[in-house]
Structure 1
Amino acid sequence: MRCLNYCSILLICVLWSIIDARRPSLFDVRIDYYKVETTQDLIINNPRPRFSWKIRVLDNVSQRNVQQTVYQIQIQSIKIIQRDNQFAWDSKRVVSSQSIYVPYTGQNDLLPSTYYRFRVRVWTTNSEEPSEWTNWIQFRTTIFNLHEYLTKNNALLWIGSTKINMNELRKEFMVPNVSPIKSAITYISGIGYYEFYLNGNKVDTSRKLDPGWTSYEKRTLVASFDLTANITAGMNAVGVKLGNGWYSPEQHGKSGYGPPRLIFSLSILFENGNEMQVLSDQTWTGREGSIKHDSIYNGEMYDSRNDRPNWARVGFNDSFSLWIMPESMPSPLNSSLNGSLILQDMLPIRAGPDALNFEVMIDSQQQSYLNHEDIDEIKGAKLTDGGILKPVAMWISDSGLQTFDLGQNIAGWCRLRFRGPSGFGVYIRYGEALTQPVVSTNHSSRNIYTENLKGAAASDTYVLHGDPIGEIYEPTFTIHGFRYLSIFDPPNALTADDVECPFVHSETTLKGHFATSNPIINQIQHNIQWTQLSNLMSVPTDCTERDERRGWLGDAALTVDEALYNFDLIKLYQNFLNLIVDDQLDNGELPNFVPVGNYPSAPYWGPNYPPDPNWASALPTITWKIYRHYSDIQILKDYYDHIIAHIKYFHGLYNTTSLANFTVRYADWVPPSPEPMTNRGLIGSFGFLHDINLLIEMSQVLGKKEDTDTYSILYQKLAKEFHQVFYNTSQNFYADGMQAAQILALALPDVVPANVRDAVLNQLVTDINQKGKHVTTGIVSTARIFPILSDNGHHDLALELISSITYPSYGYMFNNPYENATTLWEFWNSPVSEREVSSRNQAMFGSVGAWFYSHLAGIDLSSNMINIRPRMASETKKHLMSKLDCQLSTLYGLVHVSYTRDKCDTVSNSILLRVTIPPNRRARVMFEPLFVGGQCKTLIESNKIIWSSDVGTVNDQGFDIEKDSTTGLMTVYTGSGQYEFQALW
């Protein structure tokens, strides 16, 4: 009996472990886009948030076709938990497969300034048991009427000084010990920039250059911090450092705003219901601290002899410097423009390891099918190295300067350790390139090249206080774009251990991994990712180093698709869209860059209005791309009316110019020298038609039939005019026959008539070949050339273009006699460009990165079904890319696509394709012929034949399979799981 009982228990345990192994679990839970795993203080600015999650199964090979059938969400208010354990909302069991943007449907809105927690569980088709509940996830709601709350309190002031450089402010306050502290929440904004200290410690140590840059008179961003665990009964002290940031007149001459200022509100709530507030007012004191001057472009001057280590602690007494009462400063907001204080709900700029999170990595759980020998050594640093760079080389230049090379172009600064006497000044200069060798002698001074910085000094000055064990200097309110730094006359020779440089950018998550057997493509992918991150500074900027760093709309529109494949940036781009509509004029006119702020015109570039059509395209393009990547119709609803106004503005211009003379500013910016730019009217007209087409697609999604009909009629009229005006009937090509003209015409639906399409394509291909398989395109047409070639039967040529290492090409940027680029150049020939301002870290040509995912890996997430169709090189060109491995973290989980050509030695014309589809999704997997006229002979999955030409479409393995008799394309429909297909042709 004892043995029977033991055996029975053992059997039950085994059976239960089998059942439990099939139970799903949930991960990457989100609330209003926020990843709860990586957001420490989860703040929701929405009384009706939405929830998302991903389903994990233990074995994707055996557990296929997993679909969610039911979900349940529970929310509790923290105060209710303490009283009676009731739910603020229990969805109960909801029969639904929805796992993204699941709405809160409680009877009442969530309350403002309230702590809540929630949890989720689901049921799926592969298990009768539900998943385990997620752990309780705590969040808090903000003050939903934040602007009114902060501006209606007459005791709350903006404080600062017009008399001195008041960049340190402090206040001590008493918290009575009459009742336990229930919560302590602060709202703070210091503009241009601020750093926040409580009781001597910096609050959120990796957060930098806060708040985000805006048109301050229209939108000033406010951060909120939960200080409940840091405030104690008795005396407390708060300190704030202020920097000039983008609020400084220095940034753009007299058109800037003014000296920095602070607004601060701390509300402490006690368990007995009492409340106290600490506000920014004239009871604070302020002084000029160790930072004697700070500028985004020109760097920082720091005298450490003025450091007061305990300045933000209780009981601080300073007998060596003067602390005075701050002035009441005017608000940056303009009430006539409906300016508002807005919670900054995008992720902040951070430095070092906290700036980048990871959803895809090459590890045991997400094994790459590429071997190490398949990938040549990448020039530059790895994103997985932790975000702190160390020098890879150092030398003394001809000028006697100690110079360091990080081996990677970045945005950030360096932490430097000095040892020397008090009062010793050190000058640090940053740059992204070295001077070129003298032609006559071929001698290089190996000095930092500074001409391309233009008006930016890009330097820091540090005065030592004389600590005998050494002291570390790190800038606070500036940012540099650089690969090299030189130290002028340091008191001691620095070693590599004395230098470390954090990579600084808006916090984000890496969600895309892309690698192939083609080393040129791998290096381009590396350069794209580092360039994109370097130019994420609360807005997507154009460059990192010179006196510009603007939120240029053209750059952002052309690179957003690539950026959203590589990184989770929805909050940053939502903020950017808000900045665009903030600066949209009443007639619908958009600027060329944002924030416009007090800079309606800018040095070197002229007036910000009117916009170039391809720059103004950022509003509809970014809106549409966010929708395509995130499947959130709310994005379209939020900006639709602004897009309509934008189209109407250009329609009005068109009525006065027609397409032949359509307005244009920058056109197809910087084609490779000495190539001219193609017809500018054609380029401007492309932007106009492109945006109307996007508007038609948006109106269809939103069910706005009247708009669909109206703008479809307009588009067809313009498409016909485009062809009539720009098509050269005697030469059978558009405009002057240049590549850009053919590309842009082909990229517009219904513009090129079917009877001339082959001739236009032939002109494009012929011109590329005549140019030695090189592009002659600027940023607008470069963004379209690779998809056009791949989608129109010339994928081999697209691969040859991207694999080129001679001028002009992406590969030339890191295979040339001058510089080995680790980021993207602004010009195809940056080191020898006639433009001395040429940037080495500019994202505008990064658009090709979207083609890597959408065509080379073939991942399309824009429909209810995941489409996977890797574009195949022909057998004669397969050496250009015989292997590929791509991971993409989607809203539902990991999509993994990996292929190897001719995997079996005995079988040529074959492809081994491995695919992972996340739970709760279905996929359409397509196999292209590997040679012209190729016909599939056999499809195999997991060593079993699922289709054979001998049998036709008969399939006994549970797959739906289609064959296109015209193209030879084979399509297999799958559910979730891991699959290993082999197609024999």
Structure 2
Amino acid sequence: MFYIYAFVINCILRTVVCQETAAPYDIRVDHYKVDVTKDLVINTARPQISWKIAAFNDDRNVYQTAYQLQIQSRKTQWDSGQIISKQSLHVSYTNLDELHSTTFYQLRLRIWTTLSNESSAWTEWIRFRTFMFDIQTTIANRASEFMWIGSNMIPRNEFRKEFQVPGGSPIQSAVVFISGLGYYELYVNGNKTDLSRKLDPAWTVYEKRTLLVSFDLSTIIKVGMNAVGVRLGNGWYSREQNTFPMPPAQPLYGSPRFLFYLKIFFEDGSEFDLGSDTTWIGRQNAILHDSIYNGEFVDSRYDRPNWSQIGFNDTLSLWLPADEMPSPLNKTLPGHLVMQDMPPIRAGADALHIEVSTEPIGEYLKPSEFGQILGGKLSDGGVLKPIATWSPTIGVQVFDMGQNMAGWCRIKLRGPRGVGIYIRHGEVLTLPTVTTKQASGEVYTENLLGATQSDTYVLRGDPAGEIYEPTFTYHGFRYVSIYNVQGEMALGDVECPVVHSETTLKGHFTTSNPIINQIQHNIQWSQLNNLMSLPTDCPQRQERRGWLGDAALTVNEALYNFDLIKLYINFLHSIVDSQGPDGSVPDTVPFADGDYPADPNWGSAFPTIAWQVYRHYNDPEVLYNFYTNIRTYVESVHTAYKSTGLAGLFYSYSDWVPPPPEPRVNGSLASSFAFLHDVSLLVNISQVIHNTNDTAVYLALYQRLAEEFHQVFFNRTSNFYDDGSQTAQIFALALPNVVPNNVRHFVLDRLVSDINQKDIHVSTGILGTAFLYPLLSDNGYHDLALRLITSTTYPSYGYMFNNPYENATTLWELWNTPFEGPQMNSRDHIMFGSVGAWFYSHLAGIDFDTDSIVIHPRLVTESNKHLLPKVDCQLNTRHGLIHVAYTRDATPNSIRLRLHIPPNTRARVIFEPLFSEARCSRIIEGNELIWLTDRNSTFNKQNLELELKTGSMIAWIGSGKYEYEVYWE
């Protein structure tokens, strides 16, 4: 007994030797997060698997030493055996036999780490299946069985089919492949297959790439009679959406249609197929009209609750055979049917998964210190409840959701049969004026332009009440106005599910400065509201396009906050689909608005998104897959440049929407900036994929362009660029090796003096603003950057929620939104959200090198530490959770910094001086002195580095938890 006690005590004291290695967690197959993916389908015969390594709180320098993977199906088994490797990201399936099409598999893995000589426990078996890899060929060869069907003349948007499944052998599995354009919903044996899945499939360039979705129906389809139903909506396939606002518009695709392919496998090896053909029957259901912009008109008297059940018989509707419809694909391109390889749009709780704490997890920052946040919480379950209601006129009731959002409302209604209820949505309320077109306190809708954002619902007269929730539309709004209300409605009669592409919140950033916290809140909500299978510009007015400029500027911010690799890879494919023979791309993807070729700062989305996805996920496959098309795009701008030089390289937008009355900067300067920026990215990308020839070619091109940029745009008389504006100086300074060293300080001084002359305000549009904050922080003006971001006077981020007119819970499109007319004043635009990346990369200081994490919080000087004395940031990276928390409140001229670095990686931690000419006098880590210096000697226990040029201290650390106290004198 003594021996056992002694052994246990020894194990507690020496955890590294005795503890069992925990099983790996957060497994990802082909980038899908398996613990939140309901039905994991992959579209590759050689998937990549990634995982994270668990470690106990006090374990440091934990690395994986080996792993073992097992994958099996009913017919095959593969065991990698023990692979001696540190690799835990993008580990490829290396069996000689590729995974088979339309097959269910399961995998598990275990690892060995430096914590123990013993392996971890195996993970649970993870179930996944493969897509039908040859589905396009199969459908083409059996065109009479699997055809696109719908309605040519008589309106029909609800289709059904009953069928008999033979009973000679038990069902092994049943999977369905479906595409319904513009949108569809699938019902089997009376039930919708996935309740929270909405607005499927994703919007693509349909004639080039139409997406198929697969559902596992193995537990739903039965031997004997079954029934299947499909509802169709117009979506982006509709003429109504595609003809606005201006040419060039999308093709006028036509009326909705769908393709359906059910495949059943039996235990005895036999198969049964069912496809979409003209034996299906259809009718016009209760949705008499649906439009993304203009909402729905629903007459619930047309509802048939049992329409997709077996044996349904409808004596009140006209059900007619379906018409064969042309395929949306262009056969000469050729177009392709492919799997929708990304998470769907979802509504409510299933739309957002949360893998970080939404409160500080250290003890430096208390909840009472980060102030009251306006708006809804991301952690509240994905459904917003109204915070107030009132009746501005008789029969009208307005509800305030408290947060500008994208989605719709689920409304409890009561009233006589045949009464129509009219619902309008808007971002702000009408102010009382003499000339107002609407009563005070009603929803303002003029800024929606051509979009009505309205739903009409005709009551069926259910005495128990009825619930209306839209099916094939979405709205951007904070306020909901309900007309023709039959009696007073209660707050509980309205709730609004938040709708966006399914994703995971992986970043949480909060500080002791409530202004920064509100900006972070507004950025995250604006980003989510603009994730609708592609990154859009706004969710409310008659636009909602995939503007490349917005996507380029915000991808870095978006990937700090949310797990979006699949969405951005799909968007990159859509850019390729929209690319012209000369390599040019349009301003919007799919092309529906703007110019073609794109303004270079908009087209820059192509290389920028690919590069940022690589940075955040360390997956070079993204760069390999898109490199040729990216290079062709850059060459299209290069071709234009050859005709004009940088001096004449002007496209469309320049630095879009600076604060009035500031003018936009020289358009050729802006376009030249984008061209150089992308050539520089092409150099970086070619280096990663080891294309040494292109690296040399584009490095030489960049060097020539850098010299030309300076020669063309630098004003030698005034020692600044172009007209001396903030944006002109930002463009030059943000490009590597453009500004010669002997004039760099003049250009910086010009930028800083202009900001100061404007009482610490910007004069920048979306481009200049995106590059301004990192530029100031990296060049000795971090205090000024903090003063800018914490300003609450016009123009500033803080002014959006500190003004006499409206308090924003999302980002405005314009700095001066309240003063503009209705033509362009969205309250939910993401394009100014670029500053959110700076919060993580500079305020918290988290960035990425190829093989390490960089922790380098930029710090205001001691005299200005009141601007930002405390920061608490969590970021769940590809290796695990990074936690950075610091406080400046402990002792003057010091910082206390807490870090958590995940296993299987290392970090370079940089402590920068807290004031000019400061010298680091001592560093304590975990109550142990590790650095001490005076005039005569230096004590350095952990090989810390002193960077002579900046005076910063650098520490290289492995995984684990650390607490530093750093003192300066």
TM bin, normalised by shorter chain, reads over 0.9
| Partners of 2:359 and 2:524 in 1: CA distance | 20
Residues 1:94 and 2:83 are matched in the alignment: yes
Structure 1 residues 59-88: Cα deviation after superposition (integer angstroms, max 9, x where no partner)? x2x2111011111111111345xxxxxx2x
Shift of residue 232 of structure 1?
1.0
Residues 1:540 and 2:535 are matched in the alignment: yes
| Partners of 2:829 and 2:473 in 1: CA distance | 19
Structure 1 residues 10-62: Cα deviation after superposition (integer angstroms, max 9, x where no partner)? 6566667866645233110111101110112111111111110001112x2x2
Correspondence 1:692-711 to 2 at 5 A: 692-711=679-698
Shift of residue 864 of structure 1?
0.7
Match of 1:256 among 252, 259, 262: 252
Structure 2 counterpart of 1:888, which letter?
Answer: L
Query: Which residue matches 1:860?
Result: 847
Shift of residue 663 of structure 1?
2.5
Query: Which residue matches 2:966?
Result: 983
Residues 1:157 and 2:136 are matched in the alignment: no
Query: Which residue matches 2:357?
Result: 361
| Partners of 2:822 and 2:657 in 1: CA distance | 11
More off after superposition, 9-18 vs 201-210: 9-18
Residues 1:730 and 2:720 are matched in the alignment: no
Contact 1:390 1:499 (C-alpha < 8 Å) held by counterparts: yes
Query: Which residue matches 1:565?
Result: 560
Query: Which residue matches 2:908?
Result: 924
Shift of residue 492 of structure 1?
2.6
Q: 1:187 to 1:857 in 2, by over 3 A?
A: same
Q: 1:235 to 1:54 in 2, by over 3 A?
A: same
Query: Which residue matches 2:297?
Result: 301
Structure 1 counterpart of 2:219, which letter?
Answer: A
Q: 1:752 to 1:107 in 2, by over 3 A?
A: same
Which secondary structure state, in structure 2, belongs to the residue aligned with residue 921 of structure 1? strand
Which secondary structure state, in structure 2, belongs to the residue aligned with residue 919 of structure 1? strand
Structure 1 residues 638-682: Cα deviation after superposition (integer angstroms, max 9, x where no partner)? 111011111111111111111111021111110001111111110
| Partners of 1:225 and 1:451 in 2: CA distance | 41
Q: 1:444 to 1:852 in 2, by over 3 A?
A: farther
Structure 1 gaps of 5+ residues are 1-5, 81-86
Structure 2 counterpart of 1:263, which letter?
Answer: L
Shift of residue 436 of structure 1?
2.5
Residues 1:224 and 2:233 are matched in the alignment: no
| Partners of 2:399 and 2:824 in 1: CA distance | 22
Query: Which residue matches 2:898?
Result: 914
Query: Which residue matches 1:65?
Result: 61
Task: State the identity %.
Answer: 58
Match of 1:628 among 612, 615, 621: 615
Structure 1 counterpart of 2:803, which letter?
Answer: N
| Partners of 1:294 and 1:400 in 2: CA distance | 25
Residues 1:131 and 2:120 are matched in the alignment: yes
Structure 2 counterpart of 1:506, which letter?
Answer: S
Contact 2:19 2:115 (C-alpha < 8 Å) held by counterparts: no
Match of 1:968 among 951, 957, 961: 951
Q: 1:909 to 1:902 in 2, by over 3 A?
A: farther
Shift of residue 256 of structure 1?
2.5
Query: Which residue matches 1:316?
Result: 312
Q: Figure out how many residues of one structure are paired with residues of the other and give that number.
A: 957
Structure 2 counterpart of 1:341, which letter?
Answer: L
Shift of residue 978 of structure 1?
0.2
Shift of residue 526 of structure 1?
0.2
| Partners of 1:239 and 1:385 in 2: CA distance | 33
RMSD: 1.7
Contact 1:70 1:123 (C-alpha < 8 Å) held by counterparts: yes
More off after superposition, 422-431 vs 832-841: 832-841
Q: 1:183 to 1:952 in 2, by over 3 A?
A: farther
Query: Which residue matches 1:414?
Result: 409
Structure 1 residues 426-461: Cα deviation after superposition (integer angstroms, max 9, x where no partner)? 0000001111332899x9811111111000010000
Query: Which residue matches 1:3?
Result: none
Shift of residue 149 of structure 1?
2.2
| Partners of 1:837 and 1:362 in 2: CA distance | 34
| Partners of 2:585 and 2:49 in 1: CA distance | 34
Structure 1 residues 434-491: Cα deviation after superposition (integer angstroms, max 9, x where no partner)? 11332899x9811111111000010000001111111000000000000001011112
Query: Which residue matches 2:672?
Result: 685
Structure 2 counterpart of 1:960, which letter?
Answer: N
Shift of residue 972 of structure 1?
1.1
Contact 1:72 1:93 (C-alpha < 8 Å) held by counterparts: yes
Structure 1 counterpart of 2:944, which letter?
Answer: I
| Partners of 1:871 and 1:745 in 2: CA distance | 22
Structure 1 residues 312-353: Cα deviation after superposition (integer angstroms, max 9, x where no partner)? 000000000010001000000001111000100110000000
Match of 1:146 among 119, 135, 144: 135
Which secondary structure state, in structure 2, belongs to the residue aligned with residue 461 of structure 1? strand
Q: 1:12 to 1:173 in 2, by over 3 A?
A: farther
Residues 1:396 and 2:396 are matched in the alignment: no
Which secondary structure state, in structure 2, belongs to the residue aligned with residue 319 of structure 1? coil
Q: 1:816 to 1:12 in 2, by over 3 A?
A: same
Contact 2:357 2:508 (C-alpha < 8 Å) held by counterparts: yes
Match of 2:346 among 350, 371, 390: 350
Which secondary structure state, in structure 2, belongs to the residue aligned with residue 251 of structure 1? helix
Which secondary structure state, in structure 2, belongs to the residue aligned with residue 186 of structure 1? strand
Structure 2 counterpart of 1:406, which letter?
Answer: M
Q: 1:778 to 1:273 in 2, by over 3 A?
A: same
Query: Which residue matches 2:246?
Result: none
| Partners of 1:523 and 1:810 in 2: CA distance | 9
Contact 1:546 1:837 (C-alpha < 8 Å) held by counterparts: no
Contact 1:184 1:231 (C-alpha < 8 Å) held by counterparts: yes
Match of 2:871 among 873, 877, 884: 884
Query: Which residue matches 1:445?
Result: 440
Residues 1:767 and 2:763 are matched in the alignment: no
Match of 2:658 among 646, 671, 676: 671
| Partners of 2:166 and 2:810 in 1: CA distance | 55
Which secondary structure state, in structure 1, belongs to the residue aligned with residue 700 of structure 2? helix
Structure 2 gaps of 5+ residues are 244-248
| Partners of 2:378 and 2:634 in 1: CA distance | 40
| Partners of 1:123 and 1:970 in 2: CA distance | 34
| Partners of 1:960 and 1:235 in 2: CA distance | 74
Contact 2:110 2:121 (C-alpha < 8 Å) held by counterparts: yes
Query: Which residue matches 1:54?
Result: 52
| Partners of 1:393 and 1:171 in 2: CA distance | 46
| Partners of 1:933 and 1:438 in 2: CA distance | 58
Which secondary structure state, in structure 1, belongs to the residue aligned with residue 596 of structure 2? coil
Contact 1:146 1:343 (C-alpha < 8 Å) held by counterparts: no
Shift of residue 863 of structure 1?
2.4
Which secondary structure state, in structure 2, belongs to the residue aligned with residue 973 of structure 1? strand
Contact 2:395 2:485 (C-alpha < 8 Å) held by counterparts: no
Shift of residue 716 of structure 1?
1.1
Q: 1:438 to 1:23 in 2, by over 3 A?
A: same
| Partners of 2:534 and 2:866 in 1: CA distance | 40
Residues 1:743 and 2:730 are matched in the alignment: yes
Shift of residue 965 of structure 1?
2.4
Structure 1 residues 592-620: Cα deviation after superposition (integer angstroms, max 9, x where no partner)? 10112xx4xx4xx4xx3121000000100
Structure 1 residues 769-810: Cα deviation after superposition (integer angstroms, max 9, x where no partner)? 011100000111110000110000000000000000000000
| Partners of 1:588 and 1:399 in 2: CA distance | 58
Query: Which residue matches 1:486?
Result: 481
Shift of residue 712 of structure 1?
1.3
Structure 2 counterpart of 1:251, which letter?
Answer: Q
Shift of residue 966 of structure 1?
2.8
Correspondence 1:173-322 to 2 at 5 A: 173-253=163-243, 255-322=251-318
Which secondary structure state, in structure 1, belongs to the residue aligned with residue 920 of structure 2? coil
Structure 2 counterpart of 1:114, which letter?
Answer: T
Shift of residue 922 of structure 1?
0.7
Contact 1:413 1:474 (C-alpha < 8 Å) held by counterparts: yes
Query: Which residue matches 1:24?
Result: 22
Match of 1:790 among 735, 756, 777: 777
Which secondary structure state, in structure 2, belongs to the residue aligned with residue 717 of structure 1? helix
Structure 1 residues 100-144: Cα deviation after superposition (integer angstroms, max 9, x where no partner)? 001111111111111111111111112122111111111111111
Shift of residue 512 of structure 1?
0.3
